[in-house]
Structure formats: structure tokens, C-alpha cells
Amino acid sequence: MNFDLNFYYQLILRRMPVMVVIFALCAGIGVALAVTMPPRFEASAKLLVESAQIPGDSSQQSDAPRQLEIIRQRLMTRANLVDIANKYNVFAGEGQMTPDQVVSNMRSQTRIVLTGGRNQATSMGISFNASRSRVSADVVNEFVTLVLAEDSGIRKSKSRQTLEFYVQQVQRLNDELSKQSAQIVAFKEANKSSLPEGLDYRLDRQSTLQERLNLAARDRASIIDQRDRLETFKAPIGSPEVVLTPDQQQLRTLEAELNAALAVYSTGNPKVRLLQARIQQLREKMEAQPVRDVGDSTAPLTAAATVFDLQLAELDSRLGFIDEEIRRTTIELEVLRDSIEATPTVAIRLDELEREYENTQLLYNQAVSERATAQTEDQIEENAKGERVTVIEQAVAPSAPNSPNRKLIAGGGVFVGSALAAFFFLLTEILNRTIRRPIDLSRLLGVQPLATIPFLEDAHVLRRRRAMKTILVVGALIAIPVGLWAIHTFYLPLELVIEMILERVGL
């Protein structure tokens, strides 16, 4: 057991220079960082979304988390971050930094936290760390100012745009209502004889006219019958025989046919209307013929001044009046029939127009109500009485840095150096499979050696080897701090170098 302890002791001594270099490198980096890293000051502010002082539209209140997220995105835009960095000289004295580096560092040094949820107040926390206390507070206050301005601008813009939209909507719907109202009036005027509200009257009128037409047809038939009988009795009473002209004979024949047709068909039948037209034309022709003189030897002998002639004239007058009444009634019936037939189509189209008008009226009423609500919301936002973001904790310049933790960094460097040195020793021992002890030979060959002859190095070679190791260790101990100082002074500060390395490896 003592032999093994001595063996490992000798191994440790042999690898001690490399282990010392590893430990010194890590510990030196940790101590150098702890000493050289500049102090970082972090200032913070807290904002709270207050409820509306005057109750208004709840939609804006429910949009508070989303609105804060929009503001956060706007705060972290490239142009905004570069402007703030230039305004307060956030990176003054850190060399020439590109805009990309400025934006990246500003985003990494800024922390914005949104909190809220059901039955919880919605708040925003803003913090910024910088190498100077005053700068950290100024940057946070600038962020707060931008948040308040963005919140007010977004809410006022939203309320004003909503109001303008509903004002335009009300005007558009009002114009649409006027247009539809004029269209309904014009349609009713163009189809006033076929409107559905007058259908009952037209049906009653149609029945009345049909009865009147039937009564007139019966009266006409009765008058024609009386006239025929008078014509029959007139010949025996007069001295000479009355001779009918061809036109009179044709007229009697047509009148008889008309009476027979009226007994079967209605007055609107084409056949009845044709017979009426022929009778009318024949009567007009007979009236246009000149009256023959009684003294004419060729004229038939008539008793013009007799009672029969007066009765025939009266019957003809009544017959003409009835024919005219039948004609007017027939025309009115045709107009009524066309109007009644067109009523369903007119009613359907009128219902469509009125339905469109009612739908537009409903939209108009809703738009008017929404416009009133939007006007109220706009006034609330203008007077700053609505939901808004307020500052409950202003950023102040910190009196002491909050980072770095120099003791922790230095201790971490020492711990990492020790761990890496131990890991190096264990790793080299695990990977080394050479025979260095008698027990290694026994394990490999399965035999027990009788004796072992140690390898003795020359004293001069041994001293030279020790000198080289000493030189290497001392050189490493000197080169490591010098190299770290050169990087920190001539290239970039060590904290930035470490941050760049961590970003490259994804940590």
C-alpha cells in the first residue's frame, strides 16, 4: 500500500508543472476578471396599468397586456436603442463600436418584464445596467418617458381612429338609407296601381265591375229584344211596308250573334270583343249616311213621326249608352286584371326593398350607438381619464454597483483551475496503459517477477529536465497575466471578450 502511495505521489510530482500551469491559467483569469471588470450599476423602474377613472369601453382595458407588449417591441427597435445610446453616451470610453454591437449590448443590458393575469394588476418592470450609475438611471427614465408617450399616443390614436371610422360609417349608412328610401318611393310611384295594400280594393272593384257588366249585357239584350219586337209591329201599322237596308239587316244579325255569345262567354272574350267592334263600326257607318227625303220616290215609306219611331230612337239611345258603358267597364276590367296579376311580383320586389331598408336601418342604429360610445371614449382619452400607464417607482441612480461579484469570480477561477488540474491528472492516468510497476507486468503476463531493476537517469539529464520544467512553469505564470493584460488593454475588455465567447458557444 505504501508502495502505491509513493507511486502516485511521484506521478503527481511529475505532472505537477502542467497542473500548476492549468491552475494558474484559470485562477489568473478569474482573479484578473475580478480585478479588471468595471463595476456595473443597475437602475430600475416600475410602471402600472391603472384602471379607468371614468368607466368606458372594456375592450381597451382587456388589451392592456397586448398594448404593453407592442410598446416593448417598439422600445427595443434598432433606431430607438442607437438613439438612446448616443444621447447618454452609454458606451463612452469603450472604443469604436459598430451600430450592431451597440444594439446588441443595449438589448443584453436592458431587461423589460411584463406581469399580469386574471385578477392581477398589469405592470411593467424596466431595468438597465451600465458602467456608470447616472447613465443607468437616465436610460431607464428615458425608457419610461417613451413608454408613457407611446401608451398615450396609442390610446388617443386608437380612440380617434375608432371615432372617425364610425363617423364615416354613420354618414355612409345615412346616404344609403336616403338612396333606398328614394328607390322605394320611386318604385311605389311607378307601380302605384299594383301595390299590395290596394289589392283588396281592386278585387272588390273587379267584382263590382263584373256585376255591372253582366247587368249591362242583360239590359242590352232586353233593349235589343224590345227593339226587334217594335220593328216587327211597326210594318203593319204604317201605310206602306218598311224595307230594311242591307246594313240594317247585317246589324240585326251581328246583334243576335252578340247576344248569343254573351250568354256563353264573358265580356273579355276575344269573340265578344270582335262582335262589339264590328257592330260599333257598322253603326258609325249607318249614322254617316244622309237621311233620305220623304218625297223621294225611291225611299221606303216610313212613319217617322209615329210613336214607334220615337220608341225606336229612345231604345237606340239607351242601347248606345249601354254599349259605351260596356266598353268603359271592359277597359277598366282589363286594367284591373293586369294590375291584380302584377301585384305578386310588385309585392315581392317591394318586400326586398323594404327588407334591405330595414337591415340598413338596423346597421345605422348600431353605428350611431357605436359613434356615441367612440365619442365618449375619445373625450375620456383626451382628458386622460381612461385606463393608462403610470409610474409607481421612478428610476434613481444606484449608490453602489450590483455587479460584478469579485469574490465569486476569483473563487470561481480558483475552483475551476483546481478542478481542471485534477481532471487532467485523472485523464492522463486513465489513458496511460504503459507498464510502469511490477504489478502492471503481473497483470499483463500473469507471472510474478523475481526482481525489478529500476531505470536510473543521469544526474545531468535529470537537472536539465527539471530546469526546463521550471522555465516552462515560470514562463507560463508570467505569460498568462501579461497576455490577459494585453488583450484587455489593446483589443477588448476582458468582460466583452468573455461575453463574445459565451455568445459564440451559445451560452
Residue type for position 197:
E
pLDDT value at position 31?
77
CB-hemisphere CA count at 13 Å for 45?
25
pLDDT of residue 363: 92
Residues 6+ apart with CB under 8 A from 392: 46, 47, 48, 123
Contact 56, 376 (CB under 8 A): yes
What cell numbers appear for 428 in the block? Answer: 492522463
pLDDT at position 305 is: 40
Nearest Cα neighbor of 213 from 273, 254, 278 is: 273
Q: What is the pTM of this model?
A: 0.50
Counting Cβ atoms within 10 Å, is residue 430 exposed (0-12), middle (13-18) or buried (19+)? exposed
Q: What is the pLDDT of residue 418?
A: 86
- Encode the chain (507 residues) as per-residue pLDDT tens digits: 444 666 667 677 777 777 877 787 788 777 777 776 677 888 889 988 876 555 554 444 456 778 888 888 888 899 998 898 888 888 876 557 788 888 888 888 889 888 876 667 788 899 998 888 888 889 999 988 988 888 878 777 788 888 888 899 999 999 999 999 999 999 888 888 888 888 888 888 888 888 888 888 888 888 888 777 777 765 554 444 445 566 776 777 777 777 767 766 677 777 777 778 878 887 877 777 655 444 444 444 443 445 667 777 777 888 888 888 888 888 888 888 888 888 898 889 889 998 999 999 999 999 999 888 888 877 776 765 556 778 888 888 887 777 777 788 778 878 888 888 888 778 877 776 666 666 666 666 666 766 666 666 667 776 777 777 777 767 766 777 777 777 767 776 666 666 666 566 554
Contacts of 176 (CB under 8 A, 6+ apart): 360, 364
Residues sharing a CB contact under 8 Å with residue 444, sequence separation 6 or more, in sequence order: 435
3-state secondary structure 127-182: EEEECCHHHHHHHHHHHHHHHHHHHHHHHHHHHHHHHHHHHHHHHHHHHHHHHHHH
Torsion from C-alpha of 73, 76, 80, 86, nearest 10 degrees: 170
Q: Which three cell numbers stand for residue 348?
A: 315581392
Q: What is the pLDDT of residue 355?
A: 92
Distance CA 75, CA 393 (A): 19
Beta bridge partners of 114: 124
User: What is the per-residue pLDDT for 429?
Assistant: 72
Query: Is residue 40 within 8 Å of residue 405, measured between CB atoms?
Result: no
**Distance from the Cα of residue 351 to its chain's centroid:** 32
